[in-house]
Amino acid sequence: MLVRKFKVAVIAAAAVASVAVVATPAEASNCSRGGGVYLCEYGVTSYKLPNGTKQEFIVGTDRAVWTRWTDSDGDWSGWMSMGGRASSTARAYDYDYDANDPWTFRVFYYDERGEYWGRNRNHDGNWSPWTRYDLPLNG
């Protein structure tokens, strides 16, 4: 009887382990870009700045938003964490708090509860802290 209980426990443990493997698809869907590893399912968001330089945003395997940008020669910076806890693609759009300034925009994501979080870039390239908003502006 003891051997039978042991076998049942081993089978149950194996079943739980196999579910754990299936429940972590992010490990199987990691992508690499410019030396950074990110969750493939969320992709890469690119944003073109007025001077022709670019900035990219990804969601890393730590679920933080990461960014890198080009300089005037087109060389890429290293990846920098912006923090956060994304459960969606990190997207960028023109944020009209200063409609006369094309350097201002917002990066946003949705978290695991479907809440909308954003950081605003000002003209000088500085970023606000992550802020939870009730509804996304521009729908």
pLDDT (tens digit, 9 = 90+) per residue, 28-82? 499 999 999 999 999 999 999 999 999 999 999 999 999 999 999 999 999 999 9
* Domain enclosing residue 36, as ranges: 30-133
The answer to whether position 19 is within a domain reads no
24 within some domain: no
- The per-residue pLDDT for 40 is 95
Sequence-distant (6+) residues with CB within 8 A of 135 are 116
Asked whether residue 14 is assigned to any structural domain, the reply reads no
Distance separating alpha carbons of residues 41 and 84, to the nearest angstrom: 17
CA atoms of 13 and 9, how far apart (whole Å): 6
Q: What is the mean pLDDT of residues 94-122?
A: 88
Does some domain include residue 12? no
User: Is residue 96 in a domain?
Assistant: yes
Residue 3 lies in a domain: no
* Cα–chain center distance at 96: 23
* Segment 82-91, tens digit of pLDDT: 999 999 999 9
